[in-house]
Amino acid sequence: MKVPQIVRIAHAVLYVTNLERARRFYVDLLGLNILHERENALYLRGTEDREWTLKLELAPEPGVKHLAYRVADAAELEGLVELAQELGLPYRWESEQDRPRLLRLQDPFGVPVAFYAESQKYPWLLQRYDLHRGPGIQRIDHINVMTPQVEAMTRWYMERLGFRLSEYTEDDEGRIWAAWIHRKGNVHDLALTNGTGPRLHHLAYWMPDAMSIIRACDILAGAMETEAIERGPGRHGVSNAFFLYLRDPDGHRIELYTSDYSTIDPDFEPIRWHLNDPRRQTLWGARTPKSWFLEGSLLEAFEGGFVPTTESELKGLPQHVI
């Protein structure tokens, strides 16, 4: 069976209940750049992104419309249709601004994913430093999905979609609590975290350096928006990245992320972490707030409404929690 050639995570479409409030958070404070603006939607990107990478769409309830991957070319989309047909996954063709052919399907774990090969490109802003605002968010890096089926879902994305494993978390009984898998050659395009799901855990943007993440904290504090800071800043043990987790006004979780490492060697050996290693979550040993393990964004079901969630059989939180 041929595995479709996925290039990288490419965009997310988030439902937000108040576009002005969302604009203040994402544009005025975080400095994401508006590529398109519609009455009911904002299309945003980082300074390196040549396409929009986050669409905020006005909706009655917060949620996730879909998570999209870029594939190598149009032929790969046909391969994905065949895969959907083979496995009986619901799929249809949709379109979004700049992306006329978007193959949307629901993966076997309930996640609404979309794939596209072609998108309108725009001049980047990377070297227009005079236009950078806020902490200077650079490019989309990855998404993280909470699921009660971490192990099965990891296996499926690896076998069926060609993802490669970079790191994983295991307990004493060999059960997998989290996995980081990638297509693009750094630590992940997609992370899978144990918990009630499927839900979106977070969407992450790459930052120019650790100081730009410190600056994000300062900017939020200056604007009296410290409630938005859920966790960090800190350095992950997993991925070695410097990170900060924020919650947007609708509760969607956004990670600012930088300085992980290369995983392109074909014999790269995945890194195993024990569930209760205090340096796994934060290399410096800081505890993780419970909300980080418990809360997430609902995913849109293929026929509308939200995908129902299921609790995980892997109960309990890691020990290093507050």
Q: Cα–Cα distances in Å, from 102 out to 44, 94, 158, 199?
A: 18, 5, 22, 21
For 58, the token pair is 């006005």
Tokens 């994913």 belong to residue? 113
- What gap in Å lies between CA 293 and CA 308, rounded to an integer? 18
Q: Which stretch binds its own copies (CB under 8 A): 32-40, 97-105, 142-150, 234-242?
A: 234-242
Total residues contacting its own copies by CB under 8 A comes to: 58
Closer to its own copies by Cβ: residue 51 or 300: 51
Q: How far is the CB of 233 from its own copies (least distance, A)?
A: 7
Q: How far is the CB of 167 from its own copies (least distance, A)?
A: 12
Q: Which stretch binds its own copies (CB under 8 A): 155-163, 173-181, 223-231, 294-302?
A: 223-231
Q: What DSSP element (H or E) covers 278?
A: helix 278-281
Among 37, 261, 308, 316, interactor with its own copies by CB under 8 A: 261
Give the chain's radius of gyration (CA, Å). 18
Closer to its own copies by Cβ: residue 90 or 285: 285
135 preceded by a cis bond (ω within 30 of 0) = no
Q: How far is the CB of 245 from its own copies (least distance, A)?
A: 12
Q: Which stretch binds its own copies (CB under 8 A): 12-20, 56-64, 190-198, 279-287?
A: 279-287
Q: How far is the CB of 185 from its own copies (least distance, A)?
A: 5
SS3 assignment, position 292: helix
Among 3, 8, 36, 291, interactor with its own copies by CB under 8 A: 8
Residues 23, 63 contacting (CB under 8 angstroms): no
Considering the rule CB under 8 A, would residue 131 count as an interface residue with its own copies? yes
Considering the rule CB under 8 A, would residue 305 count as an interface residue with its own copies? no
Of residues 139, 133, 123, 121, the one with CA closest to residue 46: 139
Considering the rule CB under 8 A, would residue 272 count as an interface residue with its own copies? no
Q: Which residues of 24-56 are buried (b: 16+ CB within 10 A; e: fewer)?
A: ebbbebbbbbebeeeeebbbbbbbbbbbbbbbb
Among 39, 172, 173, 269, interactor with its own copies by CB under 8 A: 269
Q: Which stretch binds its own copies (CB under 8 A): 13-21, 107-115, 197-205, 211-219?
A: 211-219
Considering the rule CB under 8 A, would residue 185 count as an interface residue with its own copies? yes
Considering the rule CB under 8 A, would residue 242 count as an interface residue with its own copies? yes
